[in-house]
Every structure is written in C-alpha cells, then in structure tokens.
A = this chain, B = another copy of it.
Amino acid sequence: MSHAYVVNTHEAIVDANKDFVSAFGKGDAAGVAALYTENGQILPANVGVITGREGIQGFWQAVMNMGIKSARLETVEVEDFGETALEIGKYTLCGAKDQVLDSGKYLVIWKKDSDHWHLHRDIWTTSMPASK
C-alpha cells in the first residue's frame, strides 16, 4: 500500500539547513556549495556578489580556513511560493572550542529542484557591533 508522505516546506527548509550545518561541521566546503543551485549566488559583506558553486565553495573554504568550525542555523520565517521559498533565520558561527565567533541574521531564496530545495540567493549580516 502506498503511503503519501507529505513534508511541508518549512520542515523541508529546516531539513536542508541540517545538511548545510552537517557539511559545514565536516569542513566540507564542496558539500556546502552543492546545496546551492547551479547558478546560486551569495552576497557577503566586503566583496561583490559571488555566483556559482565553484566560487561559493571557495568563499566557504576561506571562512573555514579562518577558524570557523561549525555553523548553527535557526529558521525564523518561511514563505512558500511552490518552487520558490523565502526563509529568514538566525545564524551562529563557532570556533574550535565552540566559542561564538559571529552571529547574525540571513535571508535565503530557496528553489525546489525535483524533490530537493537548494539555496539560490543567500545574504546575511552580522548582528555583532562594528569593530572600531
């Protein structure tokens, strides 16, 4: 007997974030980059827009090389438009002793590709005070 298995988009996004956190925690920048769409973009501070998985991998590798060992993501809000979803959440980036090195908020445009949600546009800002 077939069994309809329905996952709502909010849960699907939370699950996709678990994949992000898992790959990040392994230091697997290629695995993180693979969670983005082929033409995915990140919009980090202090550089221009970075497009495509190769560039995205390089960015996250550089972040890991700076000593950031793990990421935590907390979904705050999801809006679902079928093949597109919007997520606002909070992130925390930690060092080797699990100390918080950065925390802030993010907005991600997700795209659904067959059964999988991929990050398509990803922008975040630190909530930590500016260094003087």
Contacts and interface: CB of A to CB of B under 8 A. Distances in A.
B81 A128 contact: no
The secondary-structure label for the interface of chain A is strand
A78 to B, nearest CB: 12
A45 B45 contact: yes
Interface in A113-132: 121, 123-130
Interface in A75-107: 79, 81, 84, 86, 88, 104-107
Given A84-B79, A84-B81, A105 B46 contact: no
Number of copies: 2
Category for how many chain A residues contact B = 20 to 34
A125 B43 CA distance: 7
Contacts of A46: 125-130
Contacts of A105: 43, 48-49, 123
